[in-house]
A = this chain, B = another copy of it.
Amino acid sequence: MRDAAQMPIVGMAGGGQLARMTQQAAIALGVSLRVLARSPGDSAAKVVSDARIGDDRALADLTAFAEGCEVVTFDHEHVPGPHIEAVAAAGVPCRPGADALRHAQDKLVMRERLSALGAPCPAFRHLPAATATADLAAFADEHGWPVVLKATRGGYDGKGVWVLREPDDALVERVLADGVDLMVEAHVPFRRELAALVARSPYGQGAAYPVVETVQENGVCVEVLAPAPDLDTDRAVAAERLALEIADKLGVTGLLAVELFETEDGLIVNELAMRPHNSGHWTIEGARTSQFEQHLRAVLDLPLGSTEPTARWTVMANVLGGDDPALYERMGHVMAHDPAVKVHLYGKDVRPGRKIGHVTAQGDDLAQTRSRARKAADYLRRGRKENP
């Protein structure tokens, strides 16, 4: 038992930028963040004094890490469910728990559960390895091309997702040969992508952030507009309710990000994440309570914070790595060009296409705010070079 005079330790498995930004929130709340990182050079390990180095997929490392924590949470989906159950059984609550988290770990489990709950999902079908190409063909016969082939587990940022406009048995066989479990979904002709971010505490309190629009390029989120422009109020409310209901029905504790397609007819669930999410980075400046603070409050079963926006428009643009590693020099130029843009760098080596940071702009005019964010992000990636 923690003494009443002590502040709790929150353990976060994973050493990426989500844990790094959670450290900023932990510093304010006076709670201690402990991370389990693969290497001392990981994004979060660089800025957390209590960084344990280990493999969060190894039970022994996870158990040693969890000892003394008030609660364990995650900056990614890769910790095996049985390990999480073992830690919980040893007396350290894990939030989200293994039962909830598997809906973010396995897209097939998620689809089956959400469909059973009546949440709007595209048609889908598991593709057992023995009959995968035939099952895919049958699915496409029924639902039409294109179809979306997905690895049920382990994908991120567009990896593990393939849009097929026609049969491609060679691709399917190649992926299966890597031991990947596959499913197929109907392709959704969406107008744009939205994200609904909510928090839920063990006590059952829920809080929803304004629904945002996410802009993707090559399967990677490049921009988030908060709130989603021209979103019908009823639809915004429906999206928030849907996310809160999913959080409740799945027993999520902590944050839940629901990635949505907006179609002519309404909303369709794309993916779930149960942690701080790229679509919520705008909240650091753009909401009274950042998603990182909110996640800490939720997993600690503290009362949730206000999600009220702080400006008319907040636009976040991801900074992807380019060819030139001289990021610090470029940051200076961005600061000179726009003294009000906020730069967030993740302490990662620059590699082409890698998410190495983000920028946030706020203002009363959406087009202007968006332009400021994009310019800053583009400059941090490329400097003066023209777009390719």
A47: B residues at CB distance < 8 A: 23, 26-27, 48-49
Interface centre among A8, A26, A311, A328 (most CB of B within 10 A): A328
Please give the distance in Å from A345's CB to the nearest CB on chain B.
3
The proximity string for A residues 346-378 relative to B, scoring 1 for CB distances below 8 Å and 0 otherwise, is: 110110000001000010000000000000000
Asked if A274 is at the interface of the complex by the 8 Å CB criterion, the answer is no
A4: B residues at CB distance < 8 A: 325-326, 328-329
Contact B24 A27, beta carbon cutoff 8 Å: yes
Contact A302 B24, beta carbon cutoff 8 Å: no
Asked if A343 is at the interface of the complex by the 8 Å CB criterion, the answer is yes
The proximity string for A residues 144-187 relative to B, scoring 1 for CB distances below 8 Å and 0 otherwise, is: 00000000000000000000000000000000000000000000
Please give the distance in Å from A342's CB to the nearest CB on chain B.
7
Are A29 and B331 CB-contacts (below 8 A) given A47-B49, A49-B48, A325-B5?
yes
Asked if A310 is at the interface of the complex by the 8 Å CB criterion, the answer is yes
A344: B residues at CB distance < 8 A: 28, 30
Instruction: Kindly report how many copies of this chain are found in the complex they form together.
Output: 2
A101: B residues at CB distance < 8 A: none
8 A Cβ contacts from A29-59 to B: 29-32, 45-49, 51
8 A Cβ contacts from A59-118 to B: none
Contact B29 A23, beta carbon cutoff 8 Å: no
Contact B28 A335, beta carbon cutoff 8 Å: no
Nearest chain B residue, comparing its CB with the CB of A48 = B49
A21: B residues at CB distance < 8 A: 27
Are A30 and B340 CB-contacts (below 8 A) given A297-B335, A335-B305, A345-B7?
no
Nearest chain B residue, comparing its CB with the CB of A333 = B303
A6–B348 Cα distance when bound, in Å, is 10
18 pairs, A vs B, C-beta closer than 8 Å:
A5-B326, A21-B27, A24-B27, A24-B28, A26-B47, A28-B344, A30-B328, A30-B346, A30-B357, A32-B347, A46-B49, A49-B51, A289-B339, A297-B335, A302-B331, A302-B335, A305-B335, A308-B340
Asked if A304 is at the interface of the complex by the 8 Å CB criterion, the answer is yes
A253–B304 Cα distance when bound, in Å, is 40
Contact B340 A288, beta carbon cutoff 8 Å: yes
Contact B7 A328, beta carbon cutoff 8 Å: yes
A349–B6 Cα distance when bound, in Å, is 9
Nearest chain B residue, comparing its CB with the CB of A344 = B28
A284–B208 Cα distance when bound, in Å, is 23
Asked if A306 is at the interface of the complex by the 8 Å CB criterion, the answer is yes
Asked if A1 is at the interface of the complex by the 8 Å CB criterion, the answer is no
A388–B368 Cα distance when bound, in Å, is 53
Asked if A20 is at the interface of the complex by the 8 Å CB criterion, the answer is yes
Asked if A332 is at the interface of the complex by the 8 Å CB criterion, the answer is yes
Asked if A336 is at the interface of the complex by the 8 Å CB criterion, the answer is yes
